[in-house]
Amino acid sequence: MKNEQKQSIAAELNEICKKASQYKVAKRLGISPGTISQIINHKWEMIADDMWRKLQVNLRIDFGWNTADTKNFKMLQNLMKNAQEQSISVAISHNAGAGKSHSYKYYERSMDNVVYLECKSYWTRKIYLKSLCKASGLEDKGAVDELVERFITHLRSLHKPLVIIDQLDKLNDAALDLFMDFYNDLDRYCGFLVSGVPALKKRILRGCQFDKTGYKEFYSRIGKTFIYLDDVAEKDVAMICLANGVDDQDFINHSFHLCEGDLRKIRREIDKYFLIRKRMA
């Protein structure tokens, strides 16, 4: 790994450790507090490249990509800010590839007292709780009730926290039901943003229709509203391309029609663009 990349990781770690103890940061990142201390103090001789790469991934640092202020990105940043400041719960149900997760991760890195978690389909209720605790920099050992209390107690100790639960639609009912416990114990104190693909809205509405346990309560907690994003416009694609060093209008137009609203395709096209230019040089 290049030295300037290590500098970026060290700077990011230093900023995070201003917001939380090195112990909590270490728990969240899955490394030792001693390693964090060495990196922050620029004692890098014993830090292997594997550790630097692990930190890059866990800190969600993308050296080769710049964020553009697209319409949806700005809307999501404002939505999360309002949810955090007002301690309210909001839900988003929109197609994959619209830039939701990137926006959430950006906000979590930029703001204080934000917990971000991306759910996985294989998670059990306990793995979900352990993951929430780890994302908060907490000990992830213990029984389910201990994990719940630990997580809630931690959030109560923060000033206007925001919990972002991404890809919520991947959780089973037992894990999903925990949202009501969190909400009931932290109502008016903690903001929540839950997010998923359109299947999330369908699942919640179907659960309400068939009176499945917890679904009407969940729907009520999010104000019986799911927020949608705007369709990706050519202006958004142009902003992303320009932010990442591409000003070729033909390429921008081609990429817009190719992506079909999936911004991940734009990233791949830009990567291919520079790869081809490099080969031709």
C-alpha distances in Å from residue 207, one per residue of 91, 200, 228, 253: 16, 11, 20, 42
Q: Where are the alpha helices (DSSP H) in 30-124?
A: 33-40, 49-58, 71-86, 100-110
Q: Which residue shows structure tokens 């390693």?
A: 35
Contact (Cβ atoms closer than 8 angstroms) between residue 256 and residue 234: yes
pLDDT reported for residue 151: 97
> Which helix (H) or strand (E) segment is 275 a member of?
helix 263-280
Residue type, 11: A
Give the side-chain half-sphere CA count within 13 A for 33.
7
pLDDT reported for residue 63: 86
DSSP codes, 17-52: HHHS-HHHHHHHHTS-HHHHHHHHTT--TT--HHHH
Residues of the chain with pLDDT below 70 are 281
In this structure, what token pair is assigned to residue 58?
């866990």
Q: Where are the alpha helices (DSSP H) in 121-210?
A: 125-135, 144-156, 173-176, 178-186, 198-209
> Which helix (H) or strand (E) segment is 255 a member of?
helix 249-259
Distance CA 30, CA 20 (A): 15
Distance CA 18, CA 15 (A): 5
Distance CA 58, CA 271 (A): 22
pLDDT reported for residue 281: 66
| Spacing of C-alpha 216 from chain mean position | 26
